[in-house]
Structure 1
């Protein structure tokens, strides 16, 4: 896993990163695990006005990244804006729980082994009016889990979309929340207001002890929060809230999503002593299938992370947690 620290404006951060990659002969557009079709290009063009309206900073960062890479920004936008909205993208498990002593968010990122060396951990401390954050990603400027300086942590799982519209995809939606929101309440409010393109779950927790699960797509946003008496939330790659179940697809490879969901269900039902040790064991697959992929299929858990929001600590396994132990990362303070 690469580690990168970004400063300056969004444009400057993108330009410096793109230039550094180019200097080391790392060409972004040569490492995309799907074809860049005309449909993706056209779709990105339809999304661009919405990003310019709601999130102009990210448009500037992508422009900086393209300039640094000396590539066509329209092609880079086609890659980034279409991710999660256009398959393939079905993986990951996430949970959050809170009690009187702890607030933890944990996530396994399951993805393709062929590009796992490109996985990235980032720290962003930018100067143009957004919260600082640290996050992990397989997708450059898009983020898949992270925590910001206010103590808001978010993790995503993608869901196979039955349709998509112009709007925010999962990775940019999550990053927007980290940059703009102080807590779970603000984040949930934003999700009801932003134009959403892809289908996903977002697991949220903050240092006050508030947690939430949001299942959303281009048609609907539904949330389950701890204020409704739910001290635990979890998700894989299908919708389980009653009003969202109709948006699930059938007959597709969901990377054992329902098996993983049942592992999470059983673990939280069977164990009362919820804490850091429990979270690590759960992510390591000690309570059932969660990360035990056959790497010969090209799939695996490529990192695992726990955000401890009461103790302000981050623990990360930079690989499959069954084989790579969790290490504390103390570089980002929140």
Structure 2
């Protein structure tokens, strides 16, 4: 049962320097070879800059810092890590539950395409955020200083086109949005490459699933109790994959939980424990649980762990106030 490790990065400089530091850390890491095999050698860099400048100009500065830290020309770094015009990547699975009190989610895929970074960042521009990196600049999931939590969920490649990856979409959401309404607006205007769900919860107790496809975006607001988000559409059903039984089964399980009676700790345990119906070990088939992430809206508390690993438990509000996370890495175990 091999171990795997995620490095915890804590960045409090300007956007360019934060990118520079991450680039230096990534330099010569094996994951770069994986990215090279999964991305194009060249993209329309000017189009990428135009999109970034419209939705998150500060991330363009970070991408420039990444390029310098990696010691590569900006066009190459943009193609490798910019999250724009990325070829189809094998489907990933994710399950989330959002209530007015907390957000909790599992990320399921393969460790072969896993950055291995958990980053807390407080840049000069953009909101302070914490979450798991994907393709360096993007995020699987996370939360920002306004208490907005978000995560991505693959649905299908129906209508696939040149556009932004959902992990850069998550990063843009966290960098600039405070409410579900603001997220819904941004996701209606971002050029999406593929079909993904975005699970969203905010500090006002609002929750939603945004069904985002290349040609249509619909927001499904949650009720007073809870909302589940998995890997199929409930409104744009014609865009689902032919077989969604796995996703339907996970949603039935989450819907059957008495979510509002669960504490954050209890819900976190239901997602992270190996015996959970939401925990999977099919790593060779691209469906193994890699991490669990949770946030409590009122307390500002982050709980997270890697598969079969110990939990990291800290106040993100305290981190924003200057109290560093007292850990350098997370460790998980894969069967």
TM-score (norm 2): 0.82
Q: Say whether residues 1:141 and 2:137 are aligned partners.
A: yes
Q: Say whether residues 1:127 and 2:132 are aligned partners.
A: no
Does the 8 Å CA contact 1:85/1:199 hold for their aligned counterparts?
Answer: no
2:76 and 2:91 map into 1 onto residues whose CA distance is: 19
Out of 242, 248, 269, the residue aligned to residue 256 of structure 2 is: 269
Does the 8 Å CA contact 1:315/1:327 hold for their aligned counterparts?
Answer: yes
The residue that corresponds to 1:254 in the other structure is: none
Shift in Å, 1:296:
4.9
Q: Say whether residues 1:16 and 2:4 are aligned partners.
A: no
Q: Say whether residues 1:300 and 2:303 are aligned partners.
A: no
1:310 is paired with a residue of what secondary structure? coil
The residue that corresponds to 1:7 in the other structure is: 12
Out of 211, 216, 227, the residue aligned to residue 212 of structure 2 is: 216
2:155 and 2:49 map into 1 onto residues whose CA distance is: 23
Summarize the Cα distance change of 1:194–1:131 in structure 2 as closer, same or farther, 3 Å threshold. same
Summarize the Cα distance change of 1:260–1:89 in structure 2 as closer, same or farther, 3 Å threshold. closer
The residue that corresponds to 1:156 in the other structure is: 152
1:78 is paired with a residue of what secondary structure? helix
Summarize the Cα distance change of 1:173–1:3 in structure 2 as closer, same or farther, 3 Å threshold. same
Summarize the Cα distance change of 1:34–1:163 in structure 2 as closer, same or farther, 3 Å threshold. farther
Does the 8 Å CA contact 1:285/1:292 hold for their aligned counterparts?
Answer: no
2:18 is paired with a residue of what secondary structure? helix
1:145 is paired with a residue of what secondary structure? strand
Summarize the Cα distance change of 1:84–1:305 in structure 2 as closer, same or farther, 3 Å threshold. farther
Out of 30, 35, 55, the residue aligned to residue 32 of structure 1 is: 35
1:287 and 1:26 map into 2 onto residues whose CA distance is: 33
1:298 and 1:162 map into 2 onto residues whose CA distance is: 20
Alpha-carbon RMSD across the aligned residues, in angstroms, is 2.7
Shift in Å, 1:53:
3.1
Summarize the Cα distance change of 1:57–1:110 in structure 2 as closer, same or farther, 3 Å threshold. same
Does the 8 Å CA contact 2:98/2:228 hold for their aligned counterparts?
Answer: yes
The residue that corresponds to 2:271 in the other structure is: 283
The residue that corresponds to 1:231 in the other structure is: 225
Deviation string 1:280-325 (CA, Å, 9 cap, x unpaired) is 24313688632222345464211101111112111111x22xx224
Summarize the Cα distance change of 1:17–1:181 in structure 2 as closer, same or farther, 3 Å threshold. same
The residue that corresponds to 1:247 in the other structure is: 239
User: Runs of 5+ in structure 1 lacking a partner?
Assistant: 252-256
1:222 and 1:202 map into 2 onto residues whose CA distance is: 11
2:285 and 2:216 map into 1 onto residues whose CA distance is: 34
1:21 and 1:170 map into 2 onto residues whose CA distance is: 21
1:185 and 1:296 map into 2 onto residues whose CA distance is: 38
Shift in Å, 1:223:
0.8
Q: Say whether residues 1:204 and 2:200 are aligned partners.
A: yes
In terms of mean alpha carbon deviation, does 138-147 or 107-116 score higher?
Answer: 107-116
Out of 183, 189, 199, the residue aligned to residue 187 of structure 1 is: 183
1:133 and 1:56 map into 2 onto residues whose CA distance is: 16
Summarize the Cα distance change of 1:288–1:83 in structure 2 as closer, same or farther, 3 Å threshold. farther
User: Runs of 5+ in structure 2 lacking a partner?
Assistant: 1-5, 321-335
Shift in Å, 1:179:
1.1
The residue that corresponds to 1:70 in the other structure is: 71
Summarize the Cα distance change of 1:28–1:331 in structure 2 as closer, same or farther, 3 Å threshold. same
Summarize the Cα distance change of 1:165–1:193 in structure 2 as closer, same or farther, 3 Å threshold. same
Deviation string 1:257-301 (CA, Å, 9 cap, x unpaired) is 632442332343353633324412431368863222234546421
